[in-house]
Structure 1
């Protein structure tokens, strides 16, 4: 994924700083890759930082090209020329999340990895103001942003498949028999459901409880990879 200037795109699940998904990092706290690019890169960084701040503070409804240009200290003609509209800004800020050098947790156990992952997700969704929540809401207003966010989540889940691979290598799971995507969805979904759908207060016990449930289910064969031709 690249920005309008050709710079590659991340938990920004991630899009002002640290994950999320499992894309899961909040870009507002993550540290982006330092890439050369001179003035073009500096302008992009200023504009995307302004988008994140505007989106987190005012939501999608308050996100305007003029507001972003003012906050970024960039002429609005530059913003219009490079990003064209709010949808273009959203796509690039999501793509920029993919540029963050985020790695899935490696605690030495599947249970520990899933717990740590859930804790990252919970933090990104509960920090105030939450850029991650604002970005998810914005994706419902822009088809282009929705597609970009889907790509981001696909990448994050693919990255997190290593958690299942390592668990199999340690003997925690049977080699090659666990569907990583299904296990990861089961492990992380309770956190999103609790915080985003129910809008409930953060539960410090939930990340570990959801991880425990997923590990127990995987041990029982709940996420066994379906063979070719299986229903």
Structure 2
């Protein structure tokens, strides 16, 4: 996943500078959204000279994309409850908690909104989500190994079905989402998977 956004992460930057700029970017996104994100504001908040920020990140899209790139490198606490139902419920609860969190939620929503309109941010978000999906597939692979789900089940499709309903409500219909809906989304994915809906063709 690292380096998935071409031209966004030029060499030579120190870890301290990059971390300071990333923290400032996330704070600005939380307060002002992507439309209000500027190089000048990030430079002032981070204490990094504006010329350096322009040279290394170029613009708001570069700042947002690099923040996502760094987030993709961080570990994601995957559940291991012993059942696929429990694991998927934990994953949907984790996704919902991320968007509902008073500190992280506004930033996460701003990045998703920006990805719809900006190709650079969109590419970075795509890579970020693919990385998270790849990690989450492990809970389905474990379930197949335990005999909970049919052999040949596509792990990615199971996870997409579980979390996709949340994203649809949050960003398409813009309806409220609560813990009960997150649980039902996970359960629906489990029922479908057990019925063989996600078994790959030819398996």
Q: TM-score surpassing 0.5?
A: yes
Q: Which residue of 2 aligns with 1:200?
A: 175
Contact 1:122 1:191 in 2 (8 A): yes
Displacement of 1:5 in angstroms is 3.3
Which residue matches 2:59?
A: 85
Native 8 Å contact 1:91 1:144 kept in 2: yes
Cα distance in 2, alignment partners of residues 187 and 127 from structure 1: 20
For the Cα contact (< 8 Å) 1:116–1:207, is it kept in 2?
Answer: no
Give 1:130's aligned residue.
106
CA contact (8 A) 1:139 1:146 kept: yes
Q: Please, what is the CA RMSD of the aligned residues?
A: 1.7
Give the alignment partner of residue 132 of structure 2, picking from 145, 150, 156: 156
TM-score by length of 1: 0.79
Structure 1 residue aligned with 2:191: 216
The question of whether the paired residues in 2 share the 8 Å contact of 1:126 and 1:202 is answered with no
**Counterpart check, 1:169 vs 2:175:** no
**How far is 1:90 from its partner?**
1.6
More helix by share: 2
Choose which of 80, 84, 87 in structure 2 pairs with 1:106: 80
Displacement of 1:154 in angstroms is 1.5
Runs of 5+ consecutive residues of structure 2 not aligned to the other structure: 4-8
Specify every segment of 5 or more residues in structure 1 that has no aligned partner in the other structure, as ranges.
7-38
Give the equivalent residue in structure 2 for 1:25: none
Using structure 2 for the length normalisation, give the TM-score: 0.89
Could you report, residue by residue, the CA deviation over 1:145-184 in whole angstroms, capped at 9, with x for unpaired residues? Answer: 1112111112221111111110011110123x10112111
